Amino acid sequence: MPFFKLSRFFFLFIISLCLINCKDSSNKAVSKSSTITFKKEGTLQLKKANTDSIIKTLDIEIADDEYETQTGLMYRDSMEKLQGMLFIFSNEAPRSFYMKNTRIPLDIIYISSDSTIVSFQKNAKPFDESSLPSDVDAQFVLEINAGLSDTWFLEIGDKIEF
C-alpha cells in the first residue's frame, strides 16, 4: 500500500511539473512576438472625380502577393491617419474582405481597374469575421482608418492615383 501512495504522489508531481512547464513556455512564446510596423512603399492620392483636386495624399504599404493580401493589416495595433494599405490584384473581380485578427477598425474602399472608387465598407469592426464584399468588381482595395472616408467626403466615382 505505501508503494501505491508513493507512486500516485510521484505521478501527480510529474503531471504538475508538466503543466507548469507548458504554461511557462506559452508565456515565453507570447512575449517573443514582435509588433508589425508600417512600411512605406509608395504614396497614393485621393482625388475628387469632378474637379480632379487632391483630397488627401497617403503613405501606402502595398499588398500584391498572396501572403501579403491574406495577411493585410492583421496583428497591428495602430495606423497613422495619413497611412493606408493598398491591395493590388491582377484582375478586376468580385472582392470580399473580413477583419479576422485585425485589431484596427477600418474603412475598406473598393476601386476599379480604371482607379475609380466603386464601393465602400465603412467602420469595419476589429476581429469581425463577417464577409465585407464590394458591390461591384474591383482590382484594388484601399484600407484606411475607420471614419476617414466620411471625414474626407470620399464618394463613389472619386479616383486614386499611386
Kindly report, residue by residue over 29-57, the tens digit of the pLDDT. Answer: 333 356 788 999 999 999 999 999 999 99
In this predicted structure, what is the pLDDT of residue 8?
55
CA distance 149 to 155: 8
Do residues 138 and 123 touch, judged by C-beta distance below 8 A?
Answer: no
**Beta carbons within 10 angstroms of residue 30's beta carbon:** 7
For residue 107, give the C-alpha cell. 474603412
Q: DSSP 3-state assignment of 12? A: helix
Residue extents of the structural domains in the chain? 1-32, 42-161
In this predicted structure, what is the pLDDT of residue 132?
98
CA distance 121 to 8: 59
Do residues 121 and 149 touch, judged by C-beta distance below 8 A?
Answer: no
CA distance 117 to 122: 13
In this predicted structure, what is the pLDDT of residue 81?
96
CA distance 145 to 134: 18
Do residues 74 and 100 touch, judged by C-beta distance below 8 A?
Answer: yes
Give alpha helix (H) positions in 33-119.
66-71
In this predicted structure, what is the pLDDT of residue 36?
84
Mean pLDDT by 10 residues, the chain (162 residues): 51 46 40 72 96 97 95 95 98 97 97 98 97 97 98 98 96
In this predicted structure, what is the pLDDT of residue 12?
47
Do residues 41 and 62 touch, judged by C-beta distance below 8 A?
Answer: yes
For residue 67, give the C-alpha cell. 501572403
CATH number for region 42-161: 2.60.120.1140
pTM of the shown model: 0.78
Do residues 123 and 79 touch, judged by C-beta distance below 8 A?
Answer: no
